[in-house]
Amino acid sequence: MAFHCGSLALLLICVAGTLQPIKSSEYIGKLIPRHDKWAQAIKGEYIPMQFYDAMRSAENSKQAFQNQIRNFGEHLQRNLTMSNVLSLRHENQLNTEHQRRKLHELSAFFYTAADVAGVFARDSEISFEVAKNSSYTLLLQLRQIPSTQPIPVKMLLTNYFAEMEFFHIMFSEIIDEALEYTQNILLATQKTFTYYADVQRFVLENWNFKGDAFCCKEYMEFLKHYSDQIFKCAVGRGLDIAFDVFAMTELTSKYVMRQLEFRIQRLFNCLYLGSYEIRCKFLQNAEKDFEMLFTKIEELEIFYDIKIKNGRVSSLRQRRQAHIEEDATNSVKAHDNCIPEDFPRSQMHKSLKLCFYNITEY
């Protein structure tokens, strides 16, 4: 009997040992070996490098395009100034080959400007798409969290994931708004430059320009006037707004990425390092934790609302899908807004037309 009681006491001690309070780190999830994928996330490197690379490329493209625009006045003055032509007289004969080269350089400048605008359109589109994809990538980082969590923790995590997913949807929508506007403006500008350069090249190659001093003066004055007018139309207020929209979207995207990275790092820390009651309080109110980020998105939307559509951003966003084909058609004809109809034939006065032997319709 004594032996039996002793055995029972020993058994109770063993059972009591198994019922010791669970430490917070064990409650949240057992520590994971260092080679585990989740454990590696403790390093805190979540934002894809493609995000920064895409932003850098787009910023460089924007600078190149802005530099090209700033150089227009100097280029126009250098290539379409009559004093340059008159200084080329040799035995009363005008160096027509040199002058033809100058005229071709004008169309080459517009071709280059069109190419640079196209590069910025491409790189800015890539940067916006990468920003959306990076937000989704950060969301997927949360899926690395082990599923062996107690039910109360799972419920909090599910709610937190849902809030972040909703934020990703809102962030993607606002990025799409910027993408739509900047692409329409940049591609319209590119088409205007290309069309104008095509017209100039067609005239030089097919109209048989006389190239004497009088005709050079007349044609240069004509081109100087319309080149300046068409260029200013193409790079007008819409392009300035596109630059502003790109810059503000880029700034907001970087802020959002850093904030999402911070939240993911904090979540991993609280689950991995334990002390759930202290480190994971933010999980109990996911809406409040994302409130600042949603406010940032609202501020960006207000910026778009003022800059782009004068109060019609939200309604236009709802109709975007219904107008995709219409917008594409309008983009193709965008040069009509800046280049006069039947240019340049209808705009030439009679004396200038006499400087060409074979005027044909473009």
Highest mean pLDDT among 158-162, 195-199, 218-222, 320-324: 195-199
The pLDDT of 236-257, averaged and rounded, is: 93
> Confidence band (pLDDT; 50, 70, 90) for 96?
low
Does residue 334 surpass a pLDDT of 70? no
What is the distance between the alpha carbons of residues 217 and 351, in angstroms, rounded to a whole number? 12
* Averaged confidence pLDDT in the chain: 78
% the chain with pLDDT above 90: 41
The pLDDT of 41-70, averaged and rounded, is: 86
What is the distance between the alpha carbons of residues 288 and 283, in angstroms, rounded to a whole number? 10
> Confidence band (pLDDT; 50, 70, 90) for 271?
confident
What is the distance between the alpha carbons of residues 38 and 46, in angstroms, rounded to a whole number? 12
Does residue 27 surpass a pLDDT of 60? no
Q: Are 55 and 250 in contact (CB under 8 A)?
A: yes
Tracing tokens 């969301």 back to the chain, one arrives at 139
Does residue 332 surpass a pLDDT of 80? no
The pLDDT of 313-325, averaged and rounded, is: 46
pTM: 0.76
Q: Of 173, 133, 190, 170, which is closest to residue 295 (Cα–Cα)? A: 170
> Which DSSP symbol is given to 93?
B
Q: Which of 51-60, 187-196, 247-256, 265-274 has the lowest mean pLDDT?
A: 265-274
The pLDDT of 178-187, averaged and rounded, is: 94
Handedness of CA 131, 134, 136, 139 (dihedral sign): negative
Highest mean pLDDT among 25-39, 121-135, 260-274: 121-135
Ranges of each domain in the chain: 46-353
Q: Are 334 and 197 in contact (CB under 8 A)?
A: no
* Residue 90, beta-bridge partner list: 93
Query: What are the CA-CA distances from residue 158 to residues 149, 152, 274, 339 (Å)?
Result: 11, 10, 19, 56
Q: Give the pLDDT confidence score for residue 138 in this predicted structure.
A: 85
> Which DSSP symbol is given to 43?
G
> Confidence band (pLDDT; 50, 70, 90) for 10?
very low
Does residue 326 surpass a pLDDT of 60? no
> Confidence band (pLDDT; 50, 70, 90) for 248?
very high
Q: Give the pLDDT confidence score for residue 273 in this predicted structure.
A: 67
